[in-house]
């Protein structure tokens, strides 16, 4: 049975992991009979955003691990406990929280930094030739983590985000949300998901394709 780590960072499109994308990844892994373990940093979110007003909930703090536990139904471990040797691949769902909690892409674009413990983990997956899947804005984390490699990634249409990714020396590939893009040289698979306006079932198709390709790249 293939063992896949899924990295979350809260629960919600504006301040954490995008709920629907995260569920789509878990669904696809379940369908393909893969074993899953979720992880999230045991740290406060960068912010807490009211999903209706889209304004910060001032004075409120939420922990990424505890909130991601809502998606994971409690079956989640601190990111610091992720042993790369125990997994065949890793997938990072999207959500604006990914660009704020797992790296500083939201505020610093191509000058952003990746959360150090995550950078170390991603480098190990890469160096052990284990595939990495990234959904929605999560390819930006990979773009910041692997500035020495020329990655091929999609974040959907050409956008400010794709421009920042290209500034780092990577190639952006325009895709439809029902598709994924496979960078076979670097064993990185990405899909646009909510970087596009599209019906929910099309995003699920794209994430299903991504999951299939990640599983297929496992040596």
Residues that bind a second copy (CB under 8 A): 11-14, 16, 19-20, 23-24, 26-27, 30-31, 50-52, 54, 65-67, 69-74, 76, 194, 199-201, 204
Neighbouring C-alpha atoms within 13 Å toward the C-beta of 26: 18
Active site residues per annotation: 136
Map tokens 């807490």 to a residue: 48
Give the residue with the Cβ less far from a second copy, 74 or 116: 74
Q: How far apart are CA 91 and CA 75, in angstroms?
A: 16
Give the residue with the Cβ less far from a second copy, 148 or 197: 197
Q: Nearest approach, Cβ of 109 to a second copy (angstroms)? A: 24
Give the residue with the Cβ less far from a second copy, 126 or 194: 194
Q: Nearest approach, Cβ of 111 to a second copy (angstroms)? A: 29
The answer for residues whose C-beta is within 8 angstroms of residue 29's C-beta and 6 or more apart is 4, 6, 36, 91, 211
Q: How far apart are CA 210 and CA 182, in angstroms?
A: 8
Q: Nearest approach, Cβ of 165 to a second copy (angstroms)? A: 24
Give the residue with the Cβ less far from a second copy, 20 or 173: 20
Q: Nearest approach, Cβ of 169 to a second copy (angstroms)? A: 33
CB atoms within 10 A of CB 176: 16
210: left (phi over 0), alpha (psi -120 to 50) or beta: alpha
């Amino acid at each position: 049975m293939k063992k896949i780590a899924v990295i979350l960072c809260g629960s919600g499109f504006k301040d954490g992991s995008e709920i629907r994308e995260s569920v789509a990844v878990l669904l696809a892994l379940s369908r393909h009979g893969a074993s899953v373990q979720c992880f999230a940093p045991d740290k406060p979110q960068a912010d807490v955003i009211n999903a209706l007003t889209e304004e910060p909930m001032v004075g409120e703090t939420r922990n990424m691990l505890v909130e991601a536990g809502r998606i994971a139904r409690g079956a989640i471990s601190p990111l610091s406990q992720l042993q790369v040797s125990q997994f065949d691949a890793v997938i990072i769902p999207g959500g604006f929280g990914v660009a704020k909690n797992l790296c500083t892409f939201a505020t610093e674009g191509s000058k952003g930094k990746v959360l150090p413990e995550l950078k170390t983990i991603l480098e190990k997956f890469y160096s052990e030739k284990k595939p990495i899947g990234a959904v929605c804005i999560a390819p930006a984390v990979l773009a910041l983590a692997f500035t020495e490699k020329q990655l091929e990634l999609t974040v959907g249409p050409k956008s400010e985000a794709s421009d920042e990714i290209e500034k780092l020396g990577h190639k952006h590939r325009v895709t439809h949300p029902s598709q994924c893009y496979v960078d076979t040289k670097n064993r990185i698979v990405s899909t646009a998901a909510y970087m596009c306006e599209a019906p929910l079932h099309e995003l699920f198709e794209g994430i299903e394709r991504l999951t299939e390709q990640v599983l297929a790249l496992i040596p």
